[in-house]
Structure 1
Amino acid sequence: MKRSEFLKNSSLFAAGSLLSGTAMAASAAEKEQSKAANQPFKLDYAPHQGMFSATAGKNFLDEIKYMHELGFRSIEDNGMPSRSVDEQKKIGELLAKLGMRMGVFVVPKGGNGANSLAAGNPDFVDIFLKGCRDSVEIAKRCHAKWVTVVPGDYARKLPIGVQTANVVEALKRGAEIFEPHGITMVLEPLSDTPDLFLRFSDQTYEICKAVNSPSCKILYDAYHQQKNEGNLINLMNLCWSEIAYIQVGDNPGRKEPTTGEVNYKNVFKWLHEKGYKGIVGMEHGMSKSGKEGEVTLVKAYREVDSF
């Protein structure tokens, strides 16, 4: 072989090796990025059914598996009581297999406009207590440790102090049902209507202190509290001893973080530094639909989790 041809072939081989090495390095980097993208988050964010159905399908069990692949380690399901006993058990078994936690579900008829606990009506209290007893059995099947309670509307014919006492007494009886099972009912102040009795974090804190039970704590939904009172971090800090569960949604719009005015990266950083190990429920809608919406949702949570 002529020297010129040898040098030419050698150069081509070296260039090919360099390109091959570069491609391999790029492929390895992509694999590492993909692996990192599916790692668990710093906080334990919990999606609900339907958030990833465009990719995973309508079967909730398949969707839970996909949530786990994306790095989520908990779920929420407000409507768990309406599922069949068999489905509740299957969800619980799958969560246990994947090492995931079950977040809140809503206590059936746990206080609403039709049977407000503020009214002090014994029939309303009986309905609430039946919901608590039913919730214990549901929780056993799906391994839930938290259940949501909303006391219902104001009983405006009664003085506010009497209403508060009525709510406290009903919740004490509910706590007695949950305590032996290690289940915590979390009271959620809401912003949906001014008719609701429970609306503010300090009000909920006062009630939890009065009930004085490990089974009666606060569900702090930052979406509702941004609307009702703002000053999120400071008020969470003041009420911290009674907060057992967090939910989020940006405002305005109640979509994923980064779509509204709340600086969730700072809020989540504060929660992490506070040592919060509980669940952060993704109690909101999505700004986009379909698979594009799912990608946007995960991207938003990776962003606000990058503190």
Structure 2
Amino acid sequence: MLRRKFMQQSVMAGAGLFTASHLSAKDRAPYAEKPFKLNYAFHDGTFENNAGANFLDQIQFGYDMGFRAIEDNGMMSRSVDEQKKIGDKLAKLGMSMGVFVITSDNWHWRTSLTTGKQEWTDKMIKDCKEAVEVAKRCNAKWMTVVPGNYERSLPLDYQTANVITALRKGAEILEPHGLVMVLEALSDNPDLFLRHTDQTVMVCKAVNSPSCKFLFDMYHMQRNEGNIINNIDAAWDEIGYLQIGDNPGRNEPYSGEMNYHNIFKHIHSKDYKGILGMEHGMTGKGKEGEMALIKAYRDSDDF
């Protein structure tokens, strides 16, 4: 599932943010357990069949199921009032806000920071400044950044230098506020500039800021290079955030080829205290599909 589709779903679901009720305590009882060992973050819509279209009710339902974090790629597209209400709900429950996408108009899906053109750097600066205010409202710390597509008119090293220069400008805006842009290497198409672990680590080290780290999306990295546990170890000092999705299909753990039980166990052994975003779909449908997703996480988290 492409990030654009996630963002579209988030915005559409936001229209029903305050309109439904959640599952009764009796119906929740067979599935409700203590918090997970790792901090998995669900999206708007993940539990809409059990909790309704109201994202605040979904947050409550997720909390009752043991989750302690959310993600919302489209947070910057929500109204100020929605952002504040989500932030207040998370604060009341003691939950964490995961990533939102820092780019407000999907410019990262086009050729952008790789070109070195001022128009793209200006967009980056503008969105970083706006992201600071959004983060304050929803108690966020991390925001996803994708540098854009490969620029075929320039050698790779020039493109890399352009990306580093632009990201440094963004990091300068975020750093005083303790915020972190997390760079995501993707597998959606071969035109994307940022695709591999070693490349992303190199860019993070060159930017040289605590406000620029690696978003290690295990679904994309499985498709691009595999060797997930070893690459997590190699990149550990630069990883600021993790995301989940089994391959093939980009659905919940146990739906594909990846051994998420072992991956999660390894991450837990490294004393990881951050968030693991559930940026994936689900193989089942309706209430049963959502409950099967929860069970998959309970099974993967059982170590």
Q: Same fold (TM over 0.5)?
A: yes
Q: 1:205: Cα distance to partner? A: 0.0
Task: Report the count of equivalent residues.
Answer: 276
Larger Rg: 1
Q: 1:142: Cα distance to partner? A: 0.1
Name the counterpart of 1:145: 141
Q: Does structure 1 residue 259 correspond to structure 2 residue 217?
A: no
Q: Does structure 1 residue 92 correspond to structure 2 residue 87?
A: yes
Q: Does structure 1 residue 102 correspond to structure 2 residue 97?
A: yes
Q: Does structure 1 residue 118 correspond to structure 2 residue 124?
A: no
Q: Does structure 1 residue 59 correspond to structure 2 residue 51?
A: no
Contact 2:111/2:150 (<8 A) preserved: no
| Aligned amino acid, residue 169 of structure 2 | R
Name the counterpart of 2:5: none
Q: 1:248: Cα distance to partner? A: 0.5
Q: 2 CA distance for matches of 1:193 and 1:121?
A: 23
Contact 2:71/2:99 (<8 A) preserved: yes
Contact 1:246/1:280 (<8 A) preserved: yes
Contact 1:110/1:132 (<8 A) preserved: no
Q: 1 CA distance for matches of 2:41 and 2:176?
A: 26
Aligned partner of residue 83 in structure 2, secondary structure: helix
**1:1-307 alignment runs, 5 A limit:** 34=29, 37-108=32-103, 109=105, 112-307=108-303
Find runs of 4+ consecutive structure 1 residues off by over 3 angstroms.
34-37
Q: 2 CA distance for matches of 1:183 and 1:260?
A: 34
Q: 2 CA distance for matches of 1:66 and 1:174?
A: 35
Q: 1:113: Cα distance to partner? A: 3.7
| Aligned amino acid, residue 171 of structure 1 | L
| Aligned amino acid, residue 70 of structure 2 | I
Q: 2 CA distance for matches of 1:213 and 1:148?
A: 15
Contact 1:111/1:150 (<8 A) preserved: no
Q: 1:114: Cα distance to partner? A: 3.0
Name the counterpart of 1:27: none
Q: TM-score with structure 2 length normalisation?
A: 0.89
Contact 1:219/1:245 (<8 A) preserved: yes
Contact 2:183/2:214 (<8 A) preserved: yes
Q: 2 CA distance for matches of 1:232 and 1:282?
A: 17
Q: Percent identity?
A: 61
Q: Output one character per residue of 1:181-238: Cα deviation in whole Å (capped at 9) or x when no partner.
A: 0000000000000000000011000000000000000000000000000000101101
Q: 1:304: Cα distance to partner? A: 0.2
RMSD: 1.5
Q: 1:35: Cα distance to partner? A: 8.2
| Aligned amino acid, residue 69 of structure 1 | D
Q: Output one character per residue of 1:18-43: Cα deviation in whole Å (capped at 9) or x when no partner.
A: xxxxxxxxxxxxx9xx5884210000
Q: 2 CA distance for matches of 1:94 and 1:197?
A: 37
Unmatched tracts of structure 2, length 5 or more: 1-25
Q: 1:132: Cα distance to partner? A: 0.6
Q: 2 CA distance for matches of 1:128 and 1:155?
A: 17
Q: Structure 1 110/210 Cα, relative in aligned 2: closer, same or farther at 3 Å?
A: farther
Q: 1:111: Cα distance to partner? A: 5.0
Aligned partner of residue 108 in structure 2, secondary structure: coil
Contact 2:111/2:151 (<8 A) preserved: no
Q: 1 CA distance for matches of 2:177 and 2:107?
A: 21
